[in-house]
Structure 1
Amino acid sequence: MADAVLPGQSVTVRVPATSANLGPGFDTMGLALTLHDTVTVETLDSDELVFDLRGEGVEELPRDASHLVVRCVDAALDRAGYCRRGLKVSAENVIPHGRGLGSSASAIVSGVLAGNALLPPEARLDDDGVLQLASELEGHPDNIAPALTGALSVSWQAGDSYRSARIVPAASIVPVVAIPQVELSTETARAMLPSSVSHQSAAANSGRAALLVHALTADPSLLVEGTEDFLHQSYRAEAMGASAELMNALREHGHAAVISGAGPTVLVLADGPEDADDVQQSIERFAALSENSANWRVLRLAVDTEGAKVEMHRR
């Protein structure tokens, strides 16, 4: 029979939003952003589950053991051979749901890190173990890795193992996001992709992905060319017409705009504050003139270089 973790423990986890793909880095690249969800998990001396949920998407979230944070706490405990009694989960959700900003990855990372912190020190997963488990739960590491480590991540799978390299972008990079009111599920967006692409498209995308790493770290003047995608954005455009229209309009005006993750948020990688100002003004002009309005919420962010933070409180 599994050992139960001690009651009376409290752990708070703060996790950044993430933007995956970044254009050509399909299913491999992700960038951490300064937009954070905060979750506190307390172990109870009873079998009840208590929820205090505030912020984005809370009306639709379950308040039982199927809640994603609870499931991931349980997965971390189970991986180490432990179980729990009751929990209180308090969450302040800031990352929009269903917008391509890594809300599910944030919940998974929060749950895995919280569950891991509740374990006795000798039973805890190391950093690689946390990456493996969280990526297994998400199905891929492109959002998980930057949520854990911050900055830019390039991730891949080697056999049954998930791997990731952390890269610090140039200090001048200013992410600007335009978030529409509508949601789009990752499953819907992924279902629109073709089963194969030409060698020409694959080669072009490979070159742009390599260029993007150089542009993000050494020469931001190449960001527009480095963010050109040949694999997924055009196929998904029909499901997010306003987002595709905004992205294309921004690119035509010389801005490095992409669809964030599976969409429908548009991410622009600006080079410095003046370029970010120009991006915001361009989005405002587009919104005023477009017949396909999405009531954009525009946020000027920064690259989160720290990643997830864990604070443990023991009574």
Structure 2
Amino acid sequence: MEAEATHEMFAADGGPEAPAVVVRVPATSANLGSGFDAVGWAVDRYLYAEVRPARETEARGGPPSRFEVVGEVPSDARAEGASLFFRAVEEAFARAGRAAPDLAVRLQSEIPLGKGLGSSAAVIVAGLVAANVLLEGKLSVGELLSLATRLEGHPDNVAPALLGGLVVARAEGEEVSAVRLRLPRVPALLAFVPEVELRTSASRRLLPDAYARETAVAAAGRAALLVAALAAGELEKLPAAFGDGLHEPYRLPHIPGAEELYALCASARPHGCLGCYLSGAGPTIMAVFATPEAREDFRRRFSEHPLAHAFVPEPLALVEEGAVVLARTPRGFSR
């Protein structure tokens, strides 16, 4: 979780400064249809968090601790981000048996809010990783994953945000088990991002409290096929694996145009579209393709479809690297 390069953050906000700690965390797309709350992969949109000691801001006449977000962000989202980040820092320090210091934090994110691409997971992981730098690496990756899962409520976004790549994870109580898979064949992704937002908390309230046994059995079979097909590089098996009966039937009706987009993806299977799934809790719909060429052909044809006014297609790539430290302080920063 460390990289040699440094990142010139917030140059448009007054020029780059020598950062105390800068952490980069990727966006994530979770569930992959049948892998509900268990499967996710990291994609190439990023959140950057810069963390400085309070004494540096005090020297410039600032408050003892503060939280800034670069760019136009709604005030409620700004407050939520601050709460998540500082909770993550406090949890990490508490696990290490230490009190969290006063910090100045700045975030810059390419990850859209409330779109099902792991924006909250990225904030949590950034807080935990930055805190662990200040703790001089006292917490293991397993401890960071356990804390992140507890804060997020499920591991399918935080695990790939922390570890990178495709991750299958299971949480039971405080114990979180995760396996990161290297894919022999990497599919091409096209995210269809609508204007509407769908908060995870609201999306979860749409789900039933119990399922029929037949539904559960079918879900287990699809999830097993999903992971096996990806691990073996047999992408042609994915159309049968993306189907879901646990969450998508209850969420898709609340996303205008979603069911029509699913039908459009299904009609493009002869042309290399392997299917689509609801990314996380939605509302983004992720289409999966056998090749980048098939993706570009679909995107070109979609631009002339009536649904083009409802969704913005955005090509994404899987990334193997999870959270990384781009810059760090000397020893003793947090003392």
- Structure 2 stretches lacking a partner, 5+ long: 1-17, 331-335
| TM-fit CA distance, 1:10 | 1.7
Identify which of 71, 88, 99 aligns with 2:104: 88
Q: What residue identity is the alignment partner of 2:287?
A: V
8 Å CA contact 2:26–2:161 kept in 1: the answer is: yes
| TM-fit CA distance, 1:304 | 0.8
Distance of aligned partners of 1:143 and 1:65 in 2 relative to their CA distance in 1, 3 Å threshold: closer
Q: Within 5 Å, which residues of 2 pair with 1:1-315?
A: 10-45=20-55, 46=58, 48-55=64-71, 57=73, 59-62=75-78, 66-121=82-137, 124-217=138-231, 218-254=233-269, 255=273, 256-285=275-304, 288-290=305-307, 293-294=309-310, 296-314=311-329
CA separation in 1, counterparts of 2:79 and 2:220? 43
Number of aligned residue pairs: give it.
302
CA separation in 1, counterparts of 2:256 and 2:81? 36
| TM-fit CA distance, 1:64 | 9.5
CA deviations on 1:44-99 (whole Å, 9 max, x unpaired) are 22562233312463544346995321221122112212224431111111100111
Distance of aligned partners of 1:214 and 1:63 in 2 relative to their CA distance in 1, 3 Å threshold: closer
CA separation in 1, counterparts of 2:321 and 2:66? 30
- Structure 1 stretches lacking a partner, 5+ long: 1-7
Alignment match, 2:15: none
SS in 1 for 2:33: coil
8 Å CA contact 1:55–1:94 kept in 2: the answer is: no
SS in 1 for 2:122: helix
Q: From the two aligned structures, give the one with the greater strand fraction.
A: 1
CA separation in 1, counterparts of 2:68 and 2:166? 32
8 Å CA contact 1:189–1:239 kept in 2: the answer is: no
Q: What residue identity is the alignment partner of 2:141?
A: D
8 Å CA contact 2:159–2:169 kept in 1: the answer is: yes
CA separation in 1, counterparts of 2:81 and 2:317? 34
Identity %, equivalent residues: 36
8 Å CA contact 2:69–2:78 kept in 1: the answer is: no
SS in 1 for 2:198: coil
Q: What residue identity is the alignment partner of 1:289?
A: P
8 Å CA contact 1:268–1:279 kept in 2: the answer is: no
CA separation in 2, counterparts of 1:56 and 1:252? 38
CA deviations on 1:266-310 (whole Å, 9 max, x unpaired) are 10121111221133134324xx324x942x222111111111111
SS in 1 for 2:313: strand
Distance of aligned partners of 1:107 and 1:205 in 2 relative to their CA distance in 1, 3 Å threshold: same
SS in 1 for 2:129: helix
CA separation in 2, counterparts of 1:269 and 1:12? 32
SS in 2 for 1:111: helix
CA separation in 1, counterparts of 2:82 and 2:222? 40
CA separation in 2, counterparts of 1:146 and 1:172? 16
SS in 2 for 1:19: strand
| TM-fit CA distance, 1:158 | 4.0
- Normalization by structure 2: what TM-score? 0.84
8 Å CA contact 1:12–1:40 kept in 2: the answer is: yes
Distance of aligned partners of 1:242 and 1:57 in 2 relative to their CA distance in 1, 3 Å threshold: farther
